[in-house]
Amino acid sequence: QVQLVESGGGSVQAGGSLKLSCVASGFTFIRNCMGWFRQAPGKEREEVARIFTLVGSPYYADSVKGRFTISQDIAKNTLSLQMNSLKPEDTAMYYCAADLSAPLGTCLGGQMKPSLWGQGTQVTVSS
Q: Using one digit for the tens of pLDDT, what is the confidence trace for 89-111?
A: 999 999 999 999 988 888 988 76
Indicate the pLDDT class of residue 12, thresholds 50, 70 and 90: very high
- Condensed to tens digits (0 to 9), the pLDDT of residues 59-94 reads 999 999 999 999 999 999 999 999 999 999 999 999
Q: What is the pLDDT of residue 56?
A: 86
Q: Is the dihedral of CA 82, 5, 123, 36 positive or negative?
A: positive
Share of the chain above pLDDT 90, in %: 86
DSSP string, 74-113: GGGTEEEEEE-S--GGG-EEEEEEEETT--HHHHHHS---
Task: Give the model's pLDDT for residue 71.
Answer: 97
> To the nearest whole number, what is the mean pLDDT of the chain?
95
What pLDDT sits at residue 93? 98
Q: Find out whether 81 and 69 touch, Cβ atoms under 8 Å.
A: yes
pLDDT in the model for residue 112: 86
Of residues 111 and 51, which shows the higher confidence score?
Answer: 51
Residue 110 has what pLDDT? 75
